Chains A and B, each alone.
Chain A
Amino acid sequence: MNEQDEFDGDRFDGDESVDHAPAPDQAPALIMEKARKVYPMADSEVVALDDADIVVEADEMVALVGPSGSGKTTLCSIAGGILSPTSGRVVVGGVDISTFGPKQLTRVRRELVGFVFQSVNLVPFLTARENLLVVDELGRRTGAPARRRADQLLEELGLADRAKNLPGQLSGGQRQRVAIGRALMNDPKLVLFDEPTSALDTKLGMAVMELIRDEMKSRGIAAIVVTHDERITQFCDRSVHMEDGKVL
């Protein structure tokens, strides 16, 4: 598949790569079987993810908890198509991405997954509305429907009056809400939140988590929330603990 091919054809439909997969809407958002990520070093190797198994159902919200270096971010990066596993099987929204190359993974990130990162989440020279619309611009450019969806998301996130503001003109909480809106723009199967409250104070952090839970549940979208803060887990359906690259 070349770069142009990414824009041809239909959106990933969920059953093109998976045997015996259920209907896409009912398929688990994530199936990870024996996923392993190994980084070769000079004379040895570092195992960042050690035969991880995890299944996240279509509308499930999972807290991924563990100390720094436990492999949470690596697991999320593989689930989101940012990294490829060294071995094992990874199925996102019914699409087996285990053997996908960089260009196919780029398309996975654009069409199947939403991201809210810990640090940089918005493009500083784009307004709040444009930060949502950029998702459409990077893909097949639907135009008017995308603009309507962006306006609707901003409305639902309470940011309609901030649509024309640049990220630098928004508070920390508002920026996180815009990032959540951006993560939902492509109607993803799975949204990955990497320490979404780490840059916020406790009160605002809890408010943002409430918002995340409400948005995910109201849309029936699965989510993994990476955190080392146990208080966050109360907003999720269940917690999965990690240590030394293993899912416990």
Chain B
Amino acid sequence: MFLAWKEMRRAKARFGLLIAAVGLLVFLILFQQSLQNGLLTSFTGALRNQSAEVLVYRTDGRRILQASVISPDLTEMVGQDPSVAAVGRITQGTFSVTPLALGADAEPLETSIIGFELPDLGGPRFLTVGRVPANTEEAVASEVDADGGFAVGDVVRIEPGGKQLTIVGLARDAQLNVAPTLFVTYDAYRAALVSRNPDAGAPLPNALGIRPAPGLTADQVAAAINTLSPELDALTRDDAAEQAPGVAQVRQSFRVIFLLYGFVVPLVTGLFFLIITFQKAPALTLLRAIGAPASRLVASLLVQVAIVLGGGLAAGVGLYAALARGRIGGVTLRFETTAVIVWVVLLSVGGLISALFSARRVLAIDPYSATTGAGVGR
């Protein structure tokens, strides 16, 4: 500790800059982790946080809710399967909606409206406030849109046609396609369609929400339904969110970024300590020559690595905690504890492993070099 502290005290700027660099990289990693999760939640949160354990699409809809249309015969086929306890029809469309809380002349917003037949098979799963809609005049909105004229008690108007819906509840992480999202009853959805187009008929469901028969898991039910017809594409709730078009590509892109950052932090730390190990090679050689055990010098190095990593991680997490809140565009950012823990562990281990290269150099010091003026860099 003596050597480690003394050196760091005498080179505050050098070590301070390294801590700042590590902190900045940690912040960027965590911020982008939040960005990725926020983006995906905004895309598919309504699927992950709807109440049906299993969703059934039509195959040619390619797992796009709006593109999938389930015919009555397929609905009946699914409903008769013994693995299914109950079926609820789900429909979804994009509407122009004016939040009247912002003024009657406010710009209409492209809004996803999800209609559910049964509240526990396609309705919102987690309400943070309020209740599920009980009639054709009510809706539950996504919580993140509350400030945009979708708070409980606010009224929104569907354009054209002028049908109005009153917000009676807010659902957590329930956006679809990065747009304000409303959950309404199936009848309310039909009323909205008719309001926009008086000639519209009864909508066919875009998907079916399934309640598994007692004793069966969601995976088993999805597998059973998929054997019924090649036209059916049943997925568990999480799979429906995860396998929505574009999600895998987004994850892949971020994974590459994370991989790069995951290498950069240990690389920066490792190179820094390798450079200063070379720079102070004569001093280390002198210390070995006057009786410093190699293990003591390595311990001193590792103490410095731990301080730099600890300081950098603390700075990065602190910055992340301060800044990773609120919204960027339509994406909501949150402080993600799990991500923090995972990255702190990964980067700590990576940083310490990278420091082993410097430790090897220290262990390779020959005290005899002190008599020649050379160091480990020979």
Contact = CB atoms under 8 A, between A and B. Distances in A.
A82 B289 CA distance: 7
B3 A194 contact: no
Interface string B330-365: 000000000000000000000000000000000000
Contacts of B280: 124-125
A110 B290 contact: yes
Nearest to B1: A137
B290 A109 contact: yes
Given A76-B371, A77-B368, A125 B11 contact: yes
A17 interface: no
A120 B6 contact: no
B370 A115 contact: yes
B283 A125 contact: yes
Interface in B1-19: 2-3, 6-7, 10-11
A6 B373 contact: no
Contacts of B373: 117-120
A69 interface: no
Interface residues of A, number: 36
B2 A109 contact: no
B10 A166 contact: yes
Nearest to B367: A82
B292 interface: yes
A115 B370 CA distance: 10
A106 B371 CA distance: 15
Contact of B289 (A6, A109, A111): A109
B289 A138 contact: no
The SS class assigned to the B binding surface is helix
A103 interface: yes
Contacts of B282: 119-120
B10 A120 contact: no
A130 B5 CA distance: 12
A85 B290 CA distance: 19
B6 A3 contact: no
B181 to A, nearest CB: 60
A1 B7 CA distance: 30
Nearest to A122: B286
A190 interface: no
B318 interface: no
B291 interface: yes
B289 A117 contact: yes
B294 to A, nearest CB: 8
Contacts, number: 88
A227 to B, nearest CB: 14
Contacts of A6: 293
Contact of A125 (B6, B285, B367): B6
A125 B371 CA distance: 20
Contact of A121 (B11, B286, B295, B372): B286
B153 to A, nearest CB: 66
Given A106-B291, A120-B285, A134 B3 contact: yes
B2 A194 contact: no
B287 interface: yes
A126 B6 contact: yes
Contacts of B289: 82, 109, 115, 117
Interface string B268-285: 000000000000101101
A2 B187 CA distance: 81
Interface string B205-235: 0000000000000000000000000000000
Nearest to A183: B290
Interface string A54-77: 000000000000000000010011
B2 A137 contact: yes
Interface in B277-325: 280, 282-283, 285-296
A200 B372 CA distance: 17
A44 to B, nearest CB: 21
Given A106-B291, A109-B290, A110-B290, A118 B283 contact: no
Nearest to B291: A110
Contact of B291 (A73, A139, A194): A139
A175 interface: no
A207 interface: no
Nearest to A7: B293
A149 to B, nearest CB: 16
A6 B282 CA distance: 24
Contacts of B368: 77, 82-83
Nearest to A141: B2
A123 B286 contact: yes
Indicate the member of A110, A121, A137, A166 with the most B CB atoms within 10 Å: A137
A107 interface: yes
A153 interface: no
9 tightest A-B CB contacts, nearest first? A110-B291, A119-B373, A109-B291, A120-B282, A125-B10, A137-B2, A123-B283, A138-B292, A3-B295
17 contacts: A6-B293, A73-B372, A76-B371, A82-B370, A106-B293, A109-B290, A110-B290, A110-B292, A111-B291, A117-B289, A117-B371, A118-B373, A120-B285, A123-B3, A123-B283, A130-B6, A186-B291
Given A106-B291, A139-B291, 5 more contacts: A82-B368, A115-B290, A125-B6, A125-B7, A135-B291
